[in-house]
Every structure is written in structure tokens, then in C-alpha cells.
Chain A
Amino acid sequence: MKLDVILRVGTKLVLPFILLFAFYVQFHGDYGPGGGFQAGVIAAGMVILYAIIFGLKAAQRVIPQELVQVMIPLGVLVYAGTGVVSMLLGYKFLEYTGFAQKFLTAHEWGILFVELGVFITVSGTMSAMFYAFVGRGR
């Protein structure tokens, strides 16, 4: 697809909005539909679209394979680490009340970190799976 101008230019136009939408879904998950899982899949969709149009090598130059592979365990660590931090603050595992003075603010922070962990793992897993599938045939 190297010669298809419309696809290449159109993809470049659309890509930032896909990423923006992923972050909207991520951080607006408290108020609207969505959350870390959906946002992670959308962000991975951006990587996949880029790889389909511009080729696997170009995509791996922007988002290296090592990075997405590190992201897979990193998200679980962020999630579990949130729980461990709340234990260190004197509360139960994944009880967010210690993160701030106000109850609601503390829980919003907790949800934010937890969803961030989900986002990292999901987007990393989906991108790494796509890289593995496509890279195998080459």
C-alpha cells in the first residue's frame, strides 16, 4: 500500500484523533462509558492501523517491540502496586482511602491508577500480539 496517497494521508490525519479518543475514553471513564480496557484496545488499534498502512518496520520504529513487550507485565505491576501502596498506607489491599484526605478524591486517584495499569497491559498485549502475528510471516 506504499503508493496509495489517500490512505496514507488519511491515516495520518486520523491517527492523532484515535489516540485522543483513546485518552478520552481512558480518563472520562468515570463519567461516560469506557475505561482502561476499551482505551487500551483503541490505542492498540492506532498502532495496528499505522502498521497496516506504513508497514511493520515503520510502526516498530515509532513504537518499538521491546516497549510493548515491557508494557504487558508493567500494567499488572502498576495495578498490583496500587494495592501494595494502599497496604503500606495502612489500609487493605486495593483499598484506596489512604491516597488523599477526602474519601472521594482518594478513590478517584485509586481508580485512575488502576485503570492506568489496565490500559498499559491491554494496549501492550494487543500491540505485541499483532507484532508477533505479522512479524512471523516475514
Chain B
Amino acid sequence: MNKDGVSGAVVEGASVQGTGLIKGASIEGVPVESLLMMVLLTLLAVITIAIVRQRNMFGVVMLASIYSFLMASVMMVLDAVDVAMTEASVGAGISTVILLATLHLTKSVEYPQVRGVIIPIFVSVVVGAALIWGTMSLPPFGIVDAPVHMHTAPTYLAASRDHLAPPNMVTSVLADYRSFDTLGETAVIFTAGIGVLMLLKGRRRKMLGESEGQGDRGGEA
């Protein structure tokens, strides 16, 4: 995690100056960024298939962690360093630990499926087709004048420069221009934490109470 963040800082500084190491480099006419992207996305697809085929939950958790690290690398290639950092720390770090702790409480092997596969395949094909159909009307990937870049983003970028706000515009947008949204996000984390605590601790107290009362559930609790 440490190393990741430090290299992130280096790349961030480089991309601010517009002299990033991989910027503009190309191999036989293909930009290095595109090559990196192809490799990473291929690996993502491979890991997704591996997760689907894996029956051991421990393996699934580890593969999901690798998936998150690859996703963080994708974000790095896209110059979204803050997102990459979040993905690496939350996706690969915390959620892996939480999932392993969950496996500690449950069984770690998935039960073999007993029902047919036709309905699941039908549902996933239909949903996948709907999603692909939905992407048809999206603007092309990476285009500068996509609607999302035309609405408030130029205002923020210009104002951020005029106000001499912090050099990392992600921070100034996140904590200043869009402070209300971040307050909402913090409240979401608060709610999630309280919800998990209520679910887990409430049950435990009841189980402990039962084990004290009955005595025969002590080993289970």
C-alpha cells in the first residue's frame, strides 16, 4: 500500500507537468497506454472467469483482491490517481480483510448448485445485452467534449485556478466546491458502519445471553 501511494504521488506530479513517463511513448505506432490498457483489461477478464469457476471461497476472495489491484492499475493508467488509491486501499485491502473475517465465521466452500443453469444464463445474457445496448448511446470513450465534461467541470477547473486553490483539484472539488456531496458520502459511511455494528453486535449479545441462560450453546458462541 505504501509503495503504491508513493508511486502514485510521483505519477501525479509528472502528469501535472505533462511530462509523464508513459505519456506520448509508443511501440510501433501503438501508444503504450493503450497497450497497458489492453493487457490490464485482458487480465481482468481472465480473473473474472477464474472467480466464476472457483468453488473455494478463500480463492475467490484472493482473486477479488487481485481484481481490485488490477482495477487500481487501470485507474493509474487513466490518470485517476485518487481513485486508484481508494481502489487499492478499500477494494484490495479492507474488503479482502472483511471478507476473510466473514469466511472465518462461515464455511469456506461454496455448495454445488442443484438447480438448472438455463434461467441464470438467460438472465445474465439479457442483462448483459441491455447494458451493452445502453453503452451504444454513450459518447465515445475518452472524448473531450462529452456532456459530462461540458457542464460544471470547466467552471471548476477555471475557478480552481483563479482562486489559487490547492494544486490537487480533486481535493478542491471534493472538499470545497462539492462539499455537500462529500458530507453526504461521509453520512453514507456513518450509516453503513452503524448498520453493520447493529447487525453483528446485536446478534452476538443475544447469543451470549442465550448461552449464559441455556449453557448448551457456549461452544457455538
A108 to B166 CA separation, bound complex (whole angstroms): 8
B197 interfacial by beta-carbon distance below 8 Å: yes
Query: What's the nearest-Cβ distance from chain A to residue B53, in Å?
Result: 27
Taken residue by residue from 181 to 218, chain B's Cβ proximity to chain A (1 for < 8 Å, 0 otherwise) reads as: 01101110110111011001101100000000000000
A102 to B164 CA separation, bound complex (whole angstroms): 11
Spot the interface stretch: B4-12, B38-46, B63-71, B118-126.
Answer: B4-12
B200, A136: Cβ atoms under 8 Å?
A: yes
**Shortest Cβ distance from A74 into B: residue:** B190
Interface size bracket, B side: 35 or more
A91 interfacial by beta-carbon distance below 8 Å: no
B86 interfacial by beta-carbon distance below 8 Å: yes
B105, A137: Cβ atoms under 8 Å?
A: yes
A53 interfacial by beta-carbon distance below 8 Å: no
Interface size bracket, A side: 35 or more
**Shortest Cβ distance from B101 into A: residue:** A133
**Shortest Cβ distance from A46 into B: residue:** B1
A30, B105: Cβ atoms under 8 Å?
A: no
B37-87 at interface with A (beta carbon < 8 Å):
81-82, 84-86
Chain A neighbourhood of B102, CB < 8 A: 133
A132 interfacial by beta-carbon distance below 8 Å: yes
Majority secondary structure of chain B interface residues (helix, strand, loop or mixed):
helix
Chain A neighbourhood of B194, CB < 8 A: 72-73
**Shortest Cβ distance from A52 into B: residue:** B97
B97, A130: Cβ atoms under 8 Å?
A: yes
A59 interfacial by beta-carbon distance below 8 Å: no
Q: From known contacts A69-B197, A133-B105, infer whether A35 and B175 are also in contact, taking CB-CB under 8 Å.
A: yes
B154-196 at interface with A (beta carbon < 8 Å):
163-168, 170-172, 174-176, 179-180, 182-183, 185-187, 189-190, 192-194, 196
Chain A neighbourhood of B93, CB < 8 A: 41, 45
B163, A107: Cβ atoms under 8 Å?
A: yes
Q: From known contacts A25-B5, A33-B82, A118-B186, infer whether A134 and B172 are also in contact, taking CB-CB under 8 Å.
A: no
* Additional 20 contacts, C-beta under 8 A, given A31-B166, A107-B163, A121-B190: A18-B2, A21-B5, A33-B85, A35-B171, A35-B174, A41-B93, A42-B5, A69-B197, A75-B186, A76-B186, A79-B182, A79-B186, A107-B165, A111-B175, A114-B182, A130-B97, A132-B197, A133-B102, A133-B200, A136-B203
Instruction: Name B's A-contacting residues (CB within 8 A).
Output: 1-2, 5, 8-9, 12-13, 81-82, 84-86, 89-90, 93-94, 97-98, 101-102, 104-105, 163-168, 170-172, 174-176, 179-180, 182-183, 185-187, 189-190, 192-194, 196-197, 200-201, 203-204
Closest 9 CB pairs of A and B: A125-B193, A30-B166, A133-B101, A33-B81, A132-B200, A41-B89, A94-B179, A111-B175, A32-B9
